[in-house]
C-alpha cells in the first residue's frame, strides 16, 4: 500500500497550459526598439505568434516567459495594459 507522500510523488506534474493575454507586449517591444521579427528571433518564438499575441490572442505560459525574458521584463508587466502617458 502506498503512503500519501508516495502517491503525490508518483503523479506527473501538469503541463503549463495556462493561457495569458499580454496587452503590454507591444508597448514593451516598442520600448526595446525591436520589430516583431527581431523579438521573435531573440525569443525563439515564431513571428506570426508574436503578431497574434499583440492582436489579443492568448499565449501559453512557456511562450509568455520566452517573450518576457527576451524583453528583460516580468510576466506581470506584459500582462498589464499599457498606461496612457
SS3 47: helix
CATH number of the domain that residue 30 is part of: 1.10.260.40
Q: Is residue 5 included in any domain, yes or no?
A: no
pLDDT (tens place) for every residue of the chain, 85 residues total:
555 554 555 555 545 566 889 999 999 999 999 999 999 999 999 999 999 999 999 999 999 999 999 999 999 999 998 876 5
Q: Is residue 34 included in any domain, yes or no?
A: yes
Q: Is residue 1 included in any domain, yes or no?
A: no
Range of the domain at 40: 18-78
pLDDT given for residue 37 in this prediction: 98
Give the residue from 75, 36, 81 showing the smallest Cα distance to 59: 75
Cell of residue 8, nine digits? 503525490
pLDDT given for residue 10 in this prediction: 55
Cell of residue 23, nine digits? 496587452
Give the residue from 66, 69, 78, 64 showing the smallest Cα distance to 28: 78
pLDDT given for residue 83 in this prediction: 77
Rounded to a whole number of angstroms, the CA Rg of the chain reads 17
pLDDT given for residue 11 in this prediction: 54
Amino acid at each position: 500500500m502506498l503512503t500519501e507522500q508516495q502517491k503525490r510523488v508518483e503523479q506527473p506534474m501538469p503541463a503549463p497550459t495556462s493561457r495569458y493575454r499580454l496587452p503590454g507586449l507591444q508597448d514593451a517591444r516598442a520600448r526595446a526598439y525591436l520589430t516583431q521579427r527581431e523579438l521573435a528571433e531573440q525569443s525563439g518564438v515564431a513571428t506570426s505568434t508574436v503578431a497574434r499575441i499583440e492582436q489579443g490572442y492568448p499565449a501559453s505560459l512557456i511562450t509568455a516567459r520566452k517573450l518576457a525574458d527576451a524583453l528583460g521584463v516580468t510576466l506581470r508587466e506584459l500582462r498589464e495594459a499599457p498606461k496612457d502617458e
